Chains A and B, each alone.
Chain A
Amino acid sequence: MKLFAPLAALCLLAMTSTSQAADPNLGRNLAATCANCHGTNGNAVKGAGLDSLAGVPKDKILQKLSEFKSGDKPASIMHQISKGYTDSQLDLIATYFAAQK
């Protein structure tokens, strides 16, 4: 068994690295789907009335998104859009925006 464990782990690693490896830029790519309204890299056009997300702390973005998703926070459109993303995708998006300037 001791011999088999590393082999099994190797197979798992090899599988994830060849077929289903997450793209290293997944967070960047997902966050870009928000940029139409919230600006490139979360820098919304000033005075246009939509929230900038660049540099906003991750937990703050995630809390808002989860409130939109649950319906706790009233919204015109974000309650519909936030439901289209998985929680792990929202986590990646929030991580990306928090790291932007």
Chain B
Amino acid sequence: MMLMKRRDFLKVGAAASAMASLYGCAGGGKASGHVVVVGGGYGGATVAKYLRMWSEGGVQVTLIERNPTFISCPISNLVIGGTKTMEDITVSYDGLKSKWGVRVVQDDVVAVDSAKKTISLKAGGAMSYDRLVLSPGVDFMFDQIPGLNNADAQSKILHAWKAGAQTVALRKQLESMKDGGTYAIAIPKAPYRCPPGPYERACLVANYFKEHKPKSKVVILDANEDVMSKKGLFTKAWADLYKGMVEYRNNSEVKDVEVATNTAVLEFDKFKADVLNVIPPHRAGDIAAKSGIKLINNRWVDINWLSMESTSTPGIHVLGDAVFPAPTMPKSGHMANQHGKLAAAAILNMLSGQEPNPEPVVMNTCYSFVDAKNVIHVSSVHQYDAATKTVQPVKGAGGVSAARNELEGKVAMGWAKNIWADMLT
């Protein structure tokens, strides 16, 4: 009596597939349409390539990026430390154009009209989209540090937290500094871009001093209570490799700066440095707020983790450092690349009338150099959880290096070459 006859099964199958076509797969053809991507960093370049690749050219993609070439933030601390050059961290957008058929436009987006589904360009003119992807990275809240809130101050007290001209300029300041001088790096309260990045930079500047200016010092002014990433490994590197050179100060938020004397103003104290490197607090890139999509704490974009789509504004997806992070999720280039793939898959489903993948996974790997050769990593895997409607870190997975090692120094450069190729060629 439990046996289902073949003809019954066929009937059921036919009925079910009729229902499926009514519900799940209505209009389930090949994806087509025009997707505009704003920002060609780790998130934007990835979503542009994967949309073209996975739609087999069916979806038109325009990438709008203000810079002529891609310059990587990851690995840029090695340029500041003097062991890599700008050329080593620069990649052309030509591969996206010629190999993948992405239309790359060098311009700035100044406005988004989500009702009309158009964007306006700085150079003039507008562009319409079926779906818009914003991957704008971060912009700095200079108003939180009044003395830094003007162009002159910003040309003297650098952040170098976006790779490019500031990377080169900070390197020059370090080269010009006398032996016996002090370099201070100020870290904002979390969340900020690249949690281990400031500590890596402290190591690599100390590495440069150790070899070239051994009487000099590195001071870390951290607004946070403690080292935010790979704590044991970084503190061991400071003790083992740079004894007496690196000083870590927690709860040391920079409230203001005195530009004339290179002085950081803390709550109860002041700190004068020879090279003062202040990373101001940041928020989602300006275009996110301008486009009128919902921000959390007036800073980060609230998104749906099944699609990276704004919770307030259908048709706009947001990637990378600009989004309000899921639990324990770092703001990293690697993670932005993963966001790009999650969004590409979801957008192609949505453009062909299907629901996004209900069980997305993203993962992170982040390598930090503690000297020119030795590296430490942190990794994590995040799976979508329907109950909390976010991606949650998998317990028992991920972790950090057992100890700093040269093997991972080689792997870190291999990571860079592979992820740049995964985005851009």
Contacts and interface: CB of A to CB of B under 8 A. Distances in A.
A39 B410 CA distance: 16
**Is chain B's binding surface mostly helix, strand, loop or mixed?**
helix
A35 interface: yes
B360 A45 contact: no
Interface residues of A, number: 41
A70 interface: no
B19 interface: yes
A44 B420 CA distance: 11
B347 interface: no
Kindly state the interface size class of chain B when it binds its partner.
Answer: 35 or more
Contacts of B365: 36-37, 77, 81
B380 A84 contact: yes
Nearest to B394: A84
A89 B361 contact: yes
Contact of B407 (A5, A20, A23, A76): A76
A36 B361 contact: no
**Is chain A's binding surface mostly helix, strand, loop or mixed?**
helix
A5 to B, nearest CB: 6
Interface in A1-54: 1-2, 5-6, 9-10, 13-14, 17-18, 20-23, 25-26, 28-30, 32-33, 35-40, 44-45, 48-50
A83 interface: yes
A48 B345 contact: no
Interface in A46-82: 48-50, 76-77, 80-82
Interface of B: 1-2, 4, 8-9, 11-13, 15-16, 19-20, 23-24, 49-50, 53-54, 334, 337-338, 341-342, 345, 349, 356-363, 365, 377, 379-383, 394, 396-399, 401, 405, 407-408, 410-411, 413-415, 417-419, 421-422
29 contacts: A9-B4, A10-B16, A14-B16, A14-B19, A14-B20, A14-B23, A18-B19, A18-B24, A21-B24, A21-B358, A25-B345, A28-B54, A29-B341, A29-B342, A29-B345, A29-B357, A32-B345, A36-B365, A37-B415, A39-B422, A40-B422, A48-B413, A49-B413, A76-B405, A77-B379, A80-B397, A81-B363, A83-B381, A84-B383
